[in-house]
Structure 1
Amino acid sequence: MKIAEIKTLRLEEYSNICYVQIYTDEGISGLGETFFGAGSVEAWIHDNASPILLGKDPLQIEKNWHSLSSFTGGKSTGSEGRARSAIDVALWDILGKVTNQPLYQLLGGKTRDRVPLYNTCAGNDYTKKISKTGHPSDYKGIGRKGRYEDYEAFMNRADELAVDLLEEGYHGMKIWPFDAFCKGSVTHYITQEELKKGCEPFEKIRKAVGDRIEIMVEMHCRWDLRVAKQIAKALEPYNPFWFEDPIQAFNVEALSEFAHSTHVATASSETVGSIYSYRDICAAKAAEIITFDPTWTGGVTEAKKIIGLTEAHEVSVSTHDCVGPLSFVLDTHLSTYAPNAFIQEATRAFYHGWYSELLTNIPQIRDGYVYTLEGPGLGTELRPEVWKRDDAIIRSSKLSIVD
């Protein structure tokens, strides 16, 4: 079996997503996905990865992964890392189809039949387009109204939102009200008035539902160490479940200092890539929970290693969502398998909105739990009509006869 063609797909409507479909000479194909920097990911796949992979055995996944570990981007989630991730996911999808086994089974089987969920409180179009500020979370996407406009809800009606989420069975909710006070990529000052304003949604939630729902605090790496500590101290009376990405994760010493300054767990981070970054975080005791994104940090191959590494350090994992639908599919396979996974991120606005527009199958969510797909490989495909959309940008690299 050989890799005969590598095709990428981008959609103008969902300009942050890049899909890669890898075809073999035996008629089996696999699907991968990554999010952000879609155009540069597409270019790297065709200009750098395709010349290496075309003609190779797709089942030699580890060998193929290392062959794509280029001179640059080895420890980051930049274009090279995201492209490698999407390719690796597609190769594991092929392996699942060849063996007629779902991905979680290839990894070692289930450690649980269902995974509890928390909801990231974004709206239907959150991060749909590229943000003009350069920070992904600054594109709120609140123009098109839908049933689950959860960003607007947590900013204005956090108490009602908490009640609604509990009624649907969600175990937690993630919110980021302090982003409204950021003055740039990293902010070095917050006023007392802003601190009090940022705490208001937490106060509303606790008054409405008490401690019946967990509150995850998303901080988007947008604060320096001093201000992050200020925010954490202000929020501790509301008993949040974790502080996610309080500062940039690249400085593990500073992240460790933050983690040891609060009794609330620190979660980090989809912003760094490769097992080496997570080794450094674990060794520095800089986070109790690792929130990695497998479609950014190296695909299934690296995800399995990250899970093993964190388990050895007595650190839990909770894979990152709030991106594309295939990433959510992959996350559920990993969370079903990983012994140290305990809760899965979901974005119900995406799940009940546009996810089904792109994929043939998505995992079932019921009573606050997600059940992974059971088909071979990932268990889903791009809908045939997606390839025929007017806004589709398709590029192909093929194995030549000479090759």
Structure 2
Amino acid sequence: MKVTSCETHIVATPPPHVGGMYWIFVSLKTACGIQGVGEVYAASFHPTVMEKAIEDVFERYLKGHDPHHVERFFRECYSSGFTQRPDLTMMGVVSGLEMACWDIIGKAAGKPVYELIGGKVNHKLRSYTYLYPENAKGEYDYDNVELAVECALQNKERGFTALKFDPAGPYTAYSGHQLSQNDLEKSATFCEKIREAVGTSCDLLFGTHGQMTPAAAIRLAKRLEPFDPLWFEEPVPPGQAEAMAQVAGATSIPVATGERLTTKFEFHDVLKNRAAAILQMNLGRVGGILEGKKVAALAEAYYCQIAPHLYNGPVGAAASIQLATATPNFLIQESIGTWDGFHAEVLQEKIDWQDGYIIPSDKPGLGVELNMETVRACSPYTEPTLHLSMDARPYDYKRQSSTHWKKTGL
């Protein structure tokens, strides 16, 4: 069996762009006619640049090769250009192409991928969602605690047993920073009011995006501990596990991290420094399904769990589901709502979500197929904005201290 062709599809997501501004799908085809799909989660460059990078990696390391040989593919890409070290963009490309190889492997074997990487452990996968509170105009309002509470209750009624929110203020290109008293109070109030509303029916997942210095994160954690969140996510910028370990050692809240990390090597650094109890690899960035499985195995040896990150399209989600299904130290999977809306429209058949759980597909490969009519209708992506962007201004303590947020009437 040999891979003969690769197509890249840049899909522009419709407003409000839940899951990012665009998704990068890749489609591989073998000489015997089997097609496999994957998704690249790489946000450093515009998708037009990524499209060229995908083409280069495919032509150089995958075209004409057997898709079963994922170890060879990973190592040659990992060492590309005399690097032999984690490269975020390269590993994003590798991840998408590698999961497409697994889709082909599963289809050729007539088995879901999870049956080929250890077999089914979890028959259903506990899931969580971000809170997307809407105001009267139908706009998302993340600063209104009343709306956040309403949204939390709605998601509890839908069946979710874990809810994530990030009220700690902007994440900037100049983070980490100390939080204003206003942002500290706002964060604690969100936890307090949502905990009062949902009681013990739901875990609270306190999301941040590397906004803080270790000292600032410890200050905030002390305020959040009375509400017993399941995790404190990425409290300091990625890249220095020792700094995150300072936070982990100073709070009773489990630290979670990993959406911006790639390969087993970066995750091993987190584990050996006891910097986190929960690893959040994104299967479209970490290096693919097999690399994600290796990260999960490392975590298992440290008695840590995985909670795969997902802020992209449903093909990356399908890969995460395959990994989670075959992983004994799986904790919870990020969902984007209940996989309705555009996440459903871009697939021929939506991801199966029931009463708070994702139900793994028993179809061969990744278990999903693209709806090419929708893909073509939403291509190309013509905006200059990247998938995600950080505030270009430094954190302004005075501005954050004067920011008004609704906290009364509860």
| TM-score, normalised with respect to structure 2 | 0.85
Residue 297 of structure 1 is matched in structure 2 by 286
Provide the secondary structure at the position in 2 that maps to 1:348.
coil
Q: Distance in 2 between matches of 1:332 and 1:28?
A: 22
Do the aligned partners of 2:176 and 2:236 also contact (CA within 8 Å) in 1?
no
1:93 equivalent to 2:103? Answer yes
1:222, CA displacement in angstroms? Answer: 1.6
Measured in 2, the distance between the counterparts of 1:103 and 1:154 equals 42
> Using the alignment, how far apart are the partners of 1:208 and 1:111 within structure 2?
33
Letter of the structure 2 residue corresponding to residue 268 of structure 1: T
Q: How does 1:221-260 map to 2 (within 5 A)?
A: 221-260=210-249
- Residue identity opposite 1:238 in structure 2: F
Q: What CA distance in whole angstroms lies between the structure 1 residues aligned with 2:50 and 2:186?
A: 39
Distance in 2 between residues matched to 1:77 and 1:231, nearest whole Å: 32
1:31 deviates by 0.4
**Residues 176 and 237 in structure 2, CA contact (< 8 A), matched pair in contact too:** no
Matched with 2:391 is: none
Alignment of 1:131-146 (within 5 A): 145=138
**What is the CA-CA distance between 1:207 and the residue it aligns to?**
2.1
Q: Structure 1: which 5+ runs fail to align?
A: 125-141, 394-403
Shift of 1:85: 0.4
State the partner residue of 1:360: 348
| SS of the residue 1:276 aligns to | helix
Distance 1:255 1:92, change over 3 A: same
What CA deviation, in whole Å up to 9, does each residue of 1:194-232 have, x standing for no partner?
A: 211222221211222223211111111121111111111
| Shift in Å, 1:336 | 1.2
CA shift at 1:276, angstroms? 0.5
RMSD of aligned alpha carbons: 2.4
| Helix, strand or coil at the partner of 2:236 | coil
Instruction: Please tell me the residue identity of whatever aligns with 2:62.
Output: L
1:28 Cα deviation from its structure 2 partner: 0.6
The one-letter amino acid of 1:78's match is L
- Consecutive unaligned residues of structure 2, counting only runs of 5 or more, are 15-20, 382-410
Match of 1:110?
A: 120
Aligned to 1:28: 34
Within 5 A, what are the aligned runs for 1:51-90? Answer: 51-69=60-78, 70-71=80-81, 75-76=85-86, 78-90=88-100
User: Shift of residue 39 of structure 1?
Assistant: 3.0
Q: Distance in 2 between matches of 1:29 and 1:300?
A: 17
User: % of aligned pairs identical?
Assistant: 28
Kindly state the Cα deviation for residue 358 of structure 1 after the two structures are TM-superposed. Answer: 0.8
Q: Distance in 2 between matches of 1:289 and 1:49?
A: 33
Q: 109-118 or 156-165: which moved more?
A: 156-165
Matches of 1:345 and 1:154, distance apart in 2: 23
AA of the residue aligned to 1:118: Y
Question: Alpha-carbon deviations, 1:145-167, whole Å to 9, x = none?
Answer: 48xx5x64875422222221221
Alignment map for 1:12-23 (pairs within 5 Å): 12-13=12-13, 15-23=21-29
Q: TM-score, normalized by length of structure 1?
A: 0.86
Residues 36, 104 of structure 2: 8 Å contact kept? yes
**Aligned runs of 1:309-328 on 2, under 5 Å?**
309-328=298-317
State how many pairs are aligned: 372
Q: What SS class does the counterpart of residue 118 from structure 1 fall into?
A: strand
- Output the CA distance in 1 between the equivalents of 2:284 and 2:172: 29
Q: Is 2:91–2:287's contact at 8 Å kept on the other side of the alignment?
A: yes
Change (3 A) 1:67 1:154: farther
Q: Where does residue 372 of structure 1 map in the other structure? A: 360
Distance 2:231 2:87 in 1: 23
